[in-house]
Amino acid sequence: MWKKREPYLVKKKNGITLIALVVTIVILIILATISINAIIGDNGLITNAKRAETEYTHAKVWEAMEMEYSSYWADKAAKKGLVS
């Protein structure tokens, strides 16, 4: 009689290969580097926030000085009777 041939035994590989794991880790390292640089770098979020805080403080002080200066001259003019 005819002998049945055994089907080829093919192992199904379940799981991740080492190459896929290494590629994933490299991509994650690249993304982490970009993120850290965007946050901490010379033009990063933290640096920009500190710069904005400094500029805001300078503008606030400058505005207070202008208001005081205007108030001083307005009071002086009112005392002389130039302004009603």
Give 43-59 pLDDT, tens digit per residue.
Answer: 889 999 999 999 999 99
pTM score of the predicted model: 0.55
- Structural domain boundaries in the chain: 45-78
Burial 56-82 (b: 16+ CB within 10 A, else e): eeeeeeeeeeeeeeeeeeeeeeeeeee
Find all residues with CB under 8 Å of 39, minimum gap 6, and list them.
45, 46
At residue 2, the pLDDT reads 62
The answer to whether the CB of 61 falls within 8 A of the CB of 55 is: no
Give 58-73 pLDDT, tens digit per residue.
Answer: 999 999 999 999 999 8
